[in-house]
Structure 1
Amino acid sequence: MAVILALMFRTPLRKLVIMGLNKLKQGKGPLIAKTVAATVLVVFSSILYGAMEIEKRSREGGVVNPTDEVLMANLLLEASLIGFSLFLALMTDRLHYYIKELYLTRKNLENAIKLNQDREDNKSRTMEDTKETKDKTLNLKTKER
């Protein structure tokens, strides 16, 4: 959650977090992250399956066993923790991606603006040069007469 908050607000910590995530996503980092995410997802689905089995037993029997209540509470806590962790990891990844794209887009926009300004400056200089040349030729023609 702290990483997401650091990414959300423009602070000096944001650049540090982005650099860290960039380093993490290079090399073998993405492969390891995907493997861990897949493992956690399998554990998450296993916990949900166990919770559904306990729920099915309690519906069939009608009487809720105290052991099943404790197991169900434990499984729900584990499932919520793992689900929340997966959600935060996904949010962190997407925020990092969008901020990185935003930086690249801003940089490209600044370059395009500079290029456009340079073209405008060159165009105005060329127009001034042509105007001066025309004035000179007119002056020379009037002197010849």
Structure 2
Amino acid sequence: MIQLLFLVLFAEGAVALLLMVKVGPLRELAMRGVDQVKTGKGPATVKTLACTLSVILMSSVASILNIQNRRLKLGTVSPMDQVLWRTHLLEASLIGYTLFLAFVIDRLHHYLRKLITLRQTASTSREEVEKLQMENRSLRENEEKSPNEIKKLQREIAKLNENMKKLKSETEEHKKKASAAEAHVNALQKQSEELLLEYDRLLEDNQILQAQIFNRG
């Protein structure tokens, strides 16, 4: 029993040391091992072992107290009682150290997990802050560019308004020219109709004159 307790105590001491001091990837391995112990049936097994060791510890303490009471009553202690007293004292000490180291390992694992979560949260928050800073810079740059762009757009709008005015004036001139050309065409059509009528009248007069000349001849 004592040899097993020494083995467990050394194993717990090694795990606690690896959790406290980062030695390459050994801390991660220790964290994974404790994670596995805390998952599934591990917690129930650990609690059962802790209760069993606590019962053995109380039994050893009770035996130590009984031996001390006998010593007080008798005034002397037999060699067997001395051996039993030392054995129970060593056993109780080893069990106490084992339970204490188990508690230390549990707390170290708990706080390291919290520290890892906080670091991840801090890195995520840092990334979000950097992203927000970049967005703020881009917004400031856009705000600085926007007045120049607005002035540029205002110039383009002014140019477009001038072009629209020119186009309107040109359109009005074209309309005037078109109306004048239409009036001229109408006048030419009337003049052509009058000329055709005059031509027909002259043609009739010519035919009449030719008929008169032919009758006289």
Q: Distance in 2 between matches of 1:72 and 1:140?
A: 99
Q: Distance in 2 between matches of 1:3 and 1:85?
A: 12
Q: Distance in 2 between matches of 1:34 and 1:55?
A: 31
SS at match of 1:69: helix
1:100 matched to 2:99? The reply is: no
Matches within 5 A, 1:3-22: 3-10=15-22, 11-22=24-35
1:129 partner amino acid: N
Q: Distance in 2 between matches of 1:36 and 1:140?
A: 80
1:108 partner amino acid: T
Give CA-to-partner distance per residue, 1:23-43, whole Å, 9 cap, x none.
221111111101111111111
Q: Distance in 2 between matches of 1:9 and 1:74?
A: 33
Q: Distance in 2 between matches of 1:62 and 1:135?
A: 105
Question: What's 1:2 paired with?
Answer: 14
The two structures have a TM-score, normalised by structure 1, of 0.92
1:62 matched to 2:62? The reply is: no
Tell me how far 1:140 sits from its aligned partner: 4.1
Q: Distance in 2 between matches of 1:124 and 1:79?
A: 66
Tell me how far 1:142 sits from its aligned partner: 6.1
Q: Distance in 1 between matches of 2:135 and 2:85?
A: 74
Tell me how far 1:92 sits from its aligned partner: 1.3
SS at match of 2:139: helix
Which of these residues, 42, 45, 50, is aligned with residue 58 of structure 2? 45
Tell me how far 1:109 sits from its aligned partner: 0.5
Tell me how far 1:138 sits from its aligned partner: 2.9
Q: Distance in 1 between matches of 2:151 and 2:72?
A: 103
Of all paired residues, the percent bearing the same amino acid is 34
Which of these residues, 27, 33, 51, is aligned with residue 46 of structure 2? 33
SS at match of 2:119: helix
Q: Distance in 1 between matches of 2:43 and 2:79?
A: 43
> Which deviates more, 131-140 or 109-118?
131-140
Q: Distance in 2 between matches of 1:18 and 1:74?
A: 34
Which of these residues, 63, 79, 82, is aligned with residue 92 of structure 2? 79
**Equivalenced residues, count:** 145
1:96 partner amino acid: H
Q: Distance in 1 between matches of 2:35 and 2:97?
A: 23
SS at match of 1:59: helix
The two structures have a TM-score, normalised by structure 2, of 0.63
Q: Distance in 1 between matches of 2:76 and 2:35?
A: 53
Unmatched 5+ stretches in structure 2: 1-12, 160-217
Q: Bigger radius of gyration, 1 or 2?
A: 2
